[in-house]
Structure 1
Amino acid sequence: MATPKKEDPKGGEAKAKGGGAGKIVLLVVLVVVLVLGAVGATLYFTGALGKLLGHGGGEDHGGGLAPAAAPRPSGPAQYLAIDPPFVVSIDDQGQLRYVQISVSAMARDKKILEAVTQNAPQIRNNLIMLFGRQSFQTLASPEGREKLRADTLDTIQKVLTKEIGQPGVEEIYFTNFVMQ
């Protein structure tokens, strides 16, 4: 009886090792399938899969954000100064301060810059409101000015999207920024 007991544990160990190796292989195959599925889904929803297969970028799938992005002109950058400079009062812990900001817009299509000029009153109004909501402490930091720059771009793009159907302006620059 002692002999069968020794064989059973060894046989049990062999079965456990064989079963463990099978589980590892199954797990590796499952991970590979999941990764390939994720990559495929990403390529499909970004439209890259259609481009790789030569089907025009997958615009017809109805999902994702790729169709919303209009092809942008590849010409040279063109700039438009939004004049005159903005002068607004801002709050500094109960004390009144002033900020003067000169803004220039960059686009690659002259028609976009013409649309900025045509819609200047609405753009200026929205930017004056945006600048007036800022605090002195926020604008004193580089991060605060960068956030304001991004918000300024967003404000201009919203006006252009509403008026001409596309954001158009790719970038804005503060060409003068004085706080007093």
Structure 2
Amino acid sequence: MSEEPKAKKKKGGGMKMILLIVVAMVVGGAGAAGGLYAAGFFSPKEEGPKEDPNKPVLVLAGESAEEIAKAHAVPHGDAAAAAAHGSAHGKGIDLPTPANPTAYQATYFQLQQPFTSNMSDTDAFAQISIAVSTYYDLRVIDAIKTHEMAIRSQVLMMLAQQPQESLLTPEGKRALQGRIKGIINDILKQKTGFGGVDNVYFTNFVIQ
């Protein structure tokens, strides 16, 4: 009879020992986890770069480029700051042509004044009128209107460097379209942070 309480005491002491071991493991595990966290093993997941609110968006077929631009409009000061930030950290982004253009709405814009310049190798001059298209919202067209002076200057400088013969062939005209498109997108990227012009069209082309 006298040994039965001793057995119970032993059992109770064993349970206490198990509890102490579990507590030690939990505390030790928490300490180890804290050490790993401090070492950077469990650092919080970094967020990717935030989408620039000034970036034009694609316009689905049937949608309004103007309404989408209004819906995504940001205050003028914020837009200017975003453009300045983009210019300070690179040459801006050339927005790509969508893989399936038929799913999107193209917007066209005619530059009102023609471009007139002498040729580089003759006394002849070229006079061209151009229009542009974009699959992005109206902010691309608004940017072209805002920075038309810079666009006109660069296009005229490039046009004055072209020999007459190169502009008399279909291949030469297509190459000129590509150069003008590049100039416009480069200026938009510098001024706003984004390009967006998909194509350039000649609405008048005269060499005299």
TM-score (norm 1): 0.57
Unaligned runs of 5+ in 2: 1-47, 49-55, 62-104
Does 2:109 correspond to 1:80? yes
**Does 106-115 or 96-105 show the bigger shift?**
106-115
SS of structure 1 residue aligned to 2:182: helix
Q: Name the counterpart of 2:201.
A: 173
Q: Is 1:90 paired with 2:119?
A: yes
Question: What is residue 164 of structure 2 aligned with on the other side?
Answer: 136
Aligned to 1:14: none
Distance 1:128 1:74 in 2: 34
Q: How big is the shift at 1:110?
A: 1.1
**1:74 Cα shift?**
2.9
Tell me the distance in 2 between the aligned counterparts of 1:173 and 1:138: 17
Question: Runs of 5+ in structure 1 lacking a partner?
Answer: 1-59, 61-69
> Whole-Å Cα distance in 2 between the matches of residues 113 and 158 of structure 1?
14
Counterpart of 1:125 in structure 2: which amino acid?
S
Alignment of 1:104 with 2:131, yes or no, is: yes
State the alpha-carbon separation in 2 of the partners of residues 118 and 149 from structure 1.
21
- Determine helix, strand or coil for the equivalent of 1:83: coil
| CA deviation string 1:104-144 (max 9, x = no partner) | 01113111101000000000000001111100010011111
Partner of 2:33: none
Q: Displacement, 1:163?
A: 1.1
Query: Aligned runs of 1:149-164 on 2, under 5 Å?
Result: 149-164=177-192
Q: Of the two, which has the highest radius of gyration?
A: 2
Q: Distance in 2 between matches of 1:120 and 1:82?
A: 8
| Structure with greater strand share of residues | 1
Q: Distance in 2 between matches of 1:147 and 1:72?
A: 26
Q: How many pairs were matched up?
A: 111
Q: Which has the higher helix share?
A: 1
Are 1:148 and 2:134 matched, yes or no?
no
Q: Report the residue type matching 1:174 in the other structure.
A: F
CA offset at residue 91 of structure 1? 3.1
* Identical residues among aligned pairs (%): 28
When normalised by structure 2's length, the TM-score is 0.50
Amino acid at match of 1:106: S
Q: Displacement, 1:71? A: 5.9
Equivalent-residue separation in structure 1 for 2:59 and 2:192 (angstroms):
16
- For the residue of structure 1 that corresponds to 2:126, the secondary structure is strand
1:82 CA displacement: 1.2
- Kindly report structure 1 stretches of 4+ aligned residues shifted beyond 6 Å: none
